[in-house]
Structure 1
């Protein structure tokens, strides 16, 4: 059986394809709650993809490349320290943020994903 760390690792590795849409479809459930604390929250696959679509329109983010700095599990919870690199469709970098995240796993699906990041860093990134 695949472990929670393996699920999160595979998800994060796959997230750079098509803005994360295939990864969201593969590992989210219709009830998955994805929260960027202090910034946004979605429930389910369609809302999550809608947020990705909006980020692409408003900020030009075509993909997010995730560099895993550290990962650990506590039962079905997986904690990550990551560097998320936001890129345009041409592959040029928009910016990068360091953050901590926690994923909650049920079976082989992500049922909750919370990221904690410096909101000021996101504001600067959004400002261009």
Structure 2
């Protein structure tokens, strides 16, 4: 079955949506690099989904390299970010992250605009 996107769906996102996605991915990188605990993202997560999303971040954090206490240099860096808007109140993004020794990670997420805030409703770290 072929599903057609609504005419208002954007294959590329508006600059404002791209900034929102970039800001969220940057915060996720701070968590993955050990500069923030995963629980600090709680306000940016959909309350109904935070019980699923926080363990996903914690699992990914544990998979990464141990945090270096004296270094401010991140282990993971954003290499590429692709953002689209399936409809005006939703942003979907895919980020390619590079880590130590050229190891690559991927981060896929969905943000939805609810009551004046952008909340993450889905997050996958691959």
Equivalents in 2 of 1:5, 1:23: separation in Å?
Answer: 22
How far does residue 80 in structure 1 lie from its aligned partner after superposition?
Answer: 2.3
Q: Corresponding residue for 1:66?
A: 78
Structure 1 residue 52 and structure 2 residue 63: aligned? no
The 10-residue stretch of structure 1 (59-68 or 6-15) with the greater mean CA deviation from structure 2: 59-68
The total of aligned residue pairs comes to 97
1:76 to 69, 75, 89: 89
Residue deviations 1:1-40, cap 9 Å, x none? Answer: xx54432221112221132726622411321xxxxxxxxx
Unaligned ranges ≥5, structure 1? 32-42, 123-128
TM-score (norm 2): 0.52
More strand as a share of residues: 1
Q: What SS class does the counterpart of residue 82 from structure 1 fall into?
A: strand
Selected match of 1:95 from 76, 99, 103: 103
**Cα drift, residue 93 of structure 1:** 4.6
Over the aligned positions, Cα root-mean-square deviation in angstroms equals 3.4
Do the aligned partners of 2:110 and 2:120 also contact (CA within 8 Å) in 1?
no
Provide closer, same or farther for how the CA distance between residues 60 and 70 of structure 1 changes in structure 2, counting only shifts above 3 A: closer
Deviations 1:65-115 (A, max 9, x none): 434433232301113242133x4xxxx257214565443232213141255
Runs of 4+ off more than 6 Å: none
> Are the counterparts in 2 of residues 104 and 110 from structure 1 also a CA contact under 8 Å?
yes
For structure 2, the 5+ residue unaligned runs are 1-15, 67-74
- 1:113 maps to 2:122: yes
